[in-house]
């Protein structure tokens, strides 16, 4: 083993010969970029999102890994331990499920002489059963990619090297076994232990088989310190494996580990920063520019065309001496510049010659948000290829809404709308089964009294489920604000999820207000209000909400239970200027269980409008009082329907994944919030998506 590691160390110091750079790296057994059991210093491209699953007896691991930044990787993992029980008293014979979060940071990029360097923490906020920290370097030479690193904790349990950090004090010699509730940041354990373990390996990418990757590694773990006294025999520390790429997003894995165990697995992934949405084969073709008829236009006909071809639900059309202004809501295109360009083409065919600007005032439920404008002459010449597209992009602008012009057309509000579609209720990782589900049929409806006043509701009817296995209600030391999840999901097959009245108001100067009352979500009814200050052309906004709510009956019909609470938060929204599409939210206030604290949320929206994000909530509830998990945390993904379908849509699907449902740090699930309703004021997003103007 020493000779192998010495050879790897020598090769790490050799310069790069080949300049080719692999755009994608395969997953290791624990998830995230790596060899087999061991990590490497490599990072996948920004926007990479991968689901992985593999099996090496007695462990089955599955989860998702994501690359929100080019220097940061994060993953969420479940580990099924086949020969240990979850807990006979609550789960019968179900095997144990471990939950974990891993992170890896790139410290230095590879150069001609120097390797790439990364620092990682395994199980940073999980149970700590497989916790480990590591420093690793990777260097490419021809078709080989060599890795050498050392690890504390699980990945380095083979030991053999004195922990160098013990030079800074005896406290670095002691590494405690997990004894808490799980989910805590174990700062007293990070980079500690008497000894560290060395690991290394190599990947080979043969030219004769570009879809194949061969792997060899020297494991830093001796498997004699496994959690739950589940030690495993190891005949050799050398593991070998192979990866076969079936397609750009699908890979199959196989390996031989510990000298006697077979590993097999697969991964499925995509890159949200580079994967384009489906071609929009069923969208109307962009109209040609240039006036097609003389005389006064038929404004009702123009309004119908704007809705059908450009997605603008027109409320009114105003006209000045030099400008046409369409006021309305965008129903089809997520990108405001694209909607502006499609609408400008239609106006180009009917506008008088003296009209120099085409403008569209973005409204949402009666709120005036912004005005998108394009200079007519420049736009038309660019559309006819007489000017560079860049000239048209420079002429487009997003500004605050302006009240001006003579009204030439006005359209009344459509009072009723409804939709019917499938829905899914799910519970992950519980003692009754890893995946419990209910496939539903959802009927959603809306009645608008005015553009800024409406009733809305959703009726859910269960169709197919496995909730007959759902028996466990988690213990709680707090008011049961969320842990009655089983009771709410299983008491009735027909549930009134939401029925509320909502009213919004534009108070001027970027200040917006909203009030609401009714059955606000599955578990709570009541009333509340929100104020949002969102100044134009600023990267930040401030909001505050206050809600008086009472818990609903388990059948989710019209009855109420006894528990009631006053909850609310102040929230700062901030778009990070140094990372494209990144946003930070900090929310502080009182949660449903009466606990006080703050929620931190980070997210990034990629070029195709897919958003990845994660949150963590810390309140005055101790880890012991909170229970398993120690604090509320999870991640979410928002995927626009554009990504899947051949017709443009403004709708998005949001998936939120929290490892556990507990009562601490829980917010009210409000159906509407002013920050989302005022998204049209996002000048930074407009500039980033300006390239779609001519599409």
**Would you kindly state where each structural domain of the chain is located, as residue ranges?**
2-271, 299-413, 416-450+452-684
By the 10 Å C-beta count (0-12 exposed, 13-18 middle, 19+ buried), 224 is classed as: exposed
Find the helix or strand (DSSP H, E) in which 607 lies: none
Confidence grade of residue 9 (pLDDT, cut at 50, 70, 90): very low
Round to whole Å and give the CA distance between 417 and 413. Answer: 11
With vertex at residue 99, the alpha carbon angle to CA 37 and CA 71, rounded to the nearest 5 degrees, is 60
Take residue 593 and report the two structure tokens written for it. 């269980």
Contacts of 14 (CB under 8 A, 6+ apart): 139, 141
Round to whole Å and give the CA distance between 79 and 502. Answer: 44
Sign of the C-alpha dihedral, residues 623, 626, 631, 634? positive
Round to whole Å and give the CA distance between 183 and 15. Answer: 42
pTM for this prediction: 0.89
Laid out side by side, the sheet with 406-410 consists of 397-399, 367-375, 357-364, 323-330, 312-319, 406-410
Round to whole Å and give the CA distance between 664 and 633. Answer: 11
By the 10 Å C-beta count (0-12 exposed, 13-18 middle, 19+ buried), 342 is classed as: buried
Cβ atoms of 384 and 376 closer than 8 Å: no
pLDDT in tens, 345-401: 999 999 999 999 999 999 999 999 999 999 999 999 999 999 999 999 999 999 999
CB atoms within 10 A of CB 599: 21
Cβ atoms of 563 and 481 closer than 8 Å: yes
pLDDT higher for 507 or 281?
A: 507
pLDDT for position 688: 86
pLDDT higher for 477 or 185?
A: 477
Which whole number is the average pLDDT over 80-90?
A: 83
Take residue 448 and report the two structure tokens written for it. 């608008």
Classified as helix, coil or strand, 371 is: strand
For residue 328, pLDDT over 80 is answered with: yes
Round to whole Å and give the CA distance between 496 and 291. Answer: 52
Q: Rounded to the nearest 5°, which phi and psi values hold at 40?
A: -120, 180
Which of 91-105, 211-225, 469-483 has the least mean pLDDT? 91-105
pLDDT higher for 182 or 452?
A: 452
Find the helix or strand (DSSP H, E) in which 303 lies: helix 299-310
**E strands, 167-280, in order:** 195-204, 212-218, 238-247, 250-257, 261-271
Cβ atoms of 622 and 183 closer than 8 Å: no
How many residues does the structure list for the chain? 695
Cβ atoms of 219 and 156 closer than 8 Å: no
Task: Specify the DSSP class assigned to residue 275.
Answer: P
pLDDT for position 10: 42
Confidence grade of residue 280 (pLDDT, cut at 50, 70, 90): confident
Residue that the structure tokens 């019209």 belong to: 558
For residue 189, pLDDT over 90 is answered with: no
Take residue 663 and report the two structure tokens written for it. 């009562």
For residue 13, pLDDT over 80 is answered with: no
Of the candidates 571, 563, 570, the one whose C-alpha atom is nearest the C-alpha of residue 593 is: 563
User: CATH for 2-271?
Assistant: 2.40.160.40
Q: What SS3 string covers 32-79?
A: CEECCCCECCCCCCCCEEEEEEEEECCEEEEEEEEEEECCEEEEEEEE
Contacts of 78 (CB under 8 A, 6+ apart): 61, 62, 63, 97, 98, 99, 100, 428, 429, 434
Round to whole Å and give the CA distance between 323 and 673. Answer: 33
Cβ atoms of 237 and 1 closer than 8 Å: yes
Round to whole Å and give the CA distance between 266 and 245. Answer: 10
pLDDT for position 408: 94
Round to whole Å and give the CA distance between 632 and 587. Answer: 14
Take residue 658 and report the two structure tokens written for it. 């929290």
pLDDT higher for 19 or 86?
A: 86
Sign of the C-alpha dihedral, residues 462, 465, 468, 473? negative
Cβ atoms of 327 and 318 closer than 8 Å: yes
Round to whole Å and give the CA distance between 163 and 629. Answer: 30
pLDDT in tens, 610-664: 899 999 999 999 888 888 777 888 889 998 888 888 889 888 888 888 877 899 9
Of the candidates 203, 41, 17, the one whose C-alpha atom is nearest the C-alpha of residue 113 is: 17
Round to whole Å and give the CA distance between 367 and 681. Answer: 11
Round to whole Å and give the CA distance between 567 and 475. Answer: 23
Round to whole Å and give the CA distance between 636 and 612. Answer: 6
Cβ atoms of 666 and 482 closer than 8 Å: yes
Take residue 159 and report the two structure tokens written for it. 């030991």
Cβ atoms of 643 and 278 closer than 8 Å: yes
Round to whole Å and give the CA distance between 27 and 38. Answer: 10
Round to whole Å and give the CA distance between 550 and 592. Answer: 10
Of the candidates 247, 107, 127, the one whose C-alpha atom is nearest the C-alpha of residue 185 is: 127
Distance of CA 347 to the CA centre of its chain: 38
Q: Rounded to the nearest 5°, which phi and psi values hold at 603?
A: -150, 160
Round to whole Å and give the CA distance between 378 and 357. Answer: 10
Confidence grade of residue 121 (pLDDT, cut at 50, 70, 90): very high
Round to whole Å and give the CA distance between 181 and 126. Answer: 9
Of the candidates 6, 40, 17, the one whose C-alpha atom is nearest the C-alpha of residue 137 is: 40
Contacts of 271 (CB under 8 A, 6+ apart): 44, 45, 47, 48, 49
pLDDT in tens, 489-503: 999 999 999 999 999
Confidence grade of residue 129 (pLDDT, cut at 50, 70, 90): confident
Sign of the C-alpha dihedral, residues 178, 179, 183, 189? negative
Which whole number is the average pLDDT over 542-568?
A: 98
For residue 185, pLDDT over 80 is answered with: no
Pseudo-torsion of CA 37, 42, 48, 52, nearest 10°? Answer: -10
Q: What is the CA radius of gyration of the chain?
A: 29
Task: Specify the DSSP class assigned to residue 671.
Answer: S
Task: Specify the DSSP class assigned to residue 337.
Answer: H
For residue 25, pLDDT over 60 is answered with: yes
């Amino acid at each position: 083993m020493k000779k192998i590691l010495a050879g790897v160390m020598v090769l790490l110091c050799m310069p790069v010969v080949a300049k080719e750079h692999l755009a994608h790296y395969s997953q290791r057994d624990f998830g995230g970029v790596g060899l087999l059991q061991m990590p490497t210093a490599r990072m996948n491209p920004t926007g990479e999102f991968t689901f992985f699953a593999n099996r090496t007896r007695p462990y089955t691991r599955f989860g998702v890994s994501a690359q929100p930044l080019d220097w940061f990787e994060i993953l969420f993992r479940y580990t099924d331990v086949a020969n240990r029980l979850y807990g006979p008293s609550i789960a019968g014979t179900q095997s144990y499920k471990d939950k974990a979060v891993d992170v890896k940071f790139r410290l230095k990029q590879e150069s001609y002489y120097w390797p790439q360097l990364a620092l990682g923490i395994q199980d940073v906020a999980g149970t700590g059963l497989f916790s480990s920290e590591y420093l690793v370097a990777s260097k490419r030479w021809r078709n080989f990619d060599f890795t050498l690193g050392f690890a504390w904790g699980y990945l380095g349990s083979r030991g053999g090297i004195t922990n160098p950090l013990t030079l800074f004090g005896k406290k670095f010699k002691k590494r405690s076994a997990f004894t808490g509730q799980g989910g805590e940041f174990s700062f007293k354990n990070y980079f500690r232990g008497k000894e560290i373990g060395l690991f290394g390996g190599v990947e080979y990418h043969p030219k004769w088989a570009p879809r194949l990757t061969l792997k060899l590694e020297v494991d830093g773990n001796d498997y004699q310190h496994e959690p739950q006294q589940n030690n495993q025999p190891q005949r050799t520390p050398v593991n070998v494996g192979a990866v076969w790429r079936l397609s750009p997003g699908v890979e199959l894995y196989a390996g031989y580990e510990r000298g006697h165990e077979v590993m097999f697995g697969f991964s499925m992934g995509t890159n949200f920063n580079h994967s384009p949405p489906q071609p929009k084969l069923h969208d109307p073709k962009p109209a040609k520019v240039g006036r097609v008829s003389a005389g006064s236009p038929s404004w009702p006909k123009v309004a119908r065309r704007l809705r059908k071809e450009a997605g603008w639900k027109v409320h009114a059309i105003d006209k000045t001496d030099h400008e046409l202004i369409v006021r309305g809501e965008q129903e089809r295109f997520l990108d405001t510049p694209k909607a502006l360009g499609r609408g400008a083409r239609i106006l180009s065919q009917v506008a008088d010659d003296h009209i120099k600007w085409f403008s569209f005032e973005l409204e949402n439920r009666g709120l005036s948000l912004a005005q998108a404008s394009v200079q007519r002459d420049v736009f038309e010449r660019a559309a006819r290829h007489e000017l560079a597209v860049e000239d048209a992009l420079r002429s487009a602008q997003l500004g605050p809404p302006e009240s001006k012009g003579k009204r030439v057309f006005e359209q009344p509000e459509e009072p009723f709308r409804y939709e019917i579609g499938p829905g899914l209720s799910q519970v992950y990782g519980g003692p009754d089964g890893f995946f419990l589900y209910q496939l539903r049929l959802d009927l959603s409806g809306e009645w608008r009294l005015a553009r800024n006043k409406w009733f809305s509701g959703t009726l859910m009817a269960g169709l197919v489920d496995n909730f007959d296995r759902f028996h466990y209600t988690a213990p709680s030391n707090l008011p049961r604000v969320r842990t009655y999840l089983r009771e709410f999901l299983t008491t009735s097959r027909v549930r009134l999820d939401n029925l509320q009245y909502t009213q919004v108001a534009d108070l001027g100067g970027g200040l917006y207000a909203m009030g609401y009352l009714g059955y606000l979500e599955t578990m709570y009814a009541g009333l509340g209000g929100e104020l949002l200050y969102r100044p134009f052309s600023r990267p930040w906004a401030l909001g505050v909400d206050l809600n008086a709510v009472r818990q609903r009956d388990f059948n989710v019909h019209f009855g109420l239970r006894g528990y009631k609470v006053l909850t609310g938060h102040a929230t700062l929204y901030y778009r990070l200027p140094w990372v494209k599409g990144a946003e930070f939210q900090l929310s502080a206030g009182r949660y449903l269980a009466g606990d006080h604290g703050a929620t931190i949320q980070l997210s990034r929206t990629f070029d195709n409008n897919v958003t990845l994000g994660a949150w963590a909530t810390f309140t005055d509830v101790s880890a012991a009082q909170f229970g398993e998990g120690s604090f509320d945390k999870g991640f979410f993904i928002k995927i626009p329907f554009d990504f899947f379908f051949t017709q443009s849509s403004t709708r998005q699907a949001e998936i939120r994944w929290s490892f556990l449902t507990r009562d601490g740090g829980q917010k009210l699930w409000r159906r509407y919030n002013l920050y989302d309703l005022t998204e049209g004021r996002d000048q930074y997003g407009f500039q980033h998506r300006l390239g779609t103007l001519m599409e």
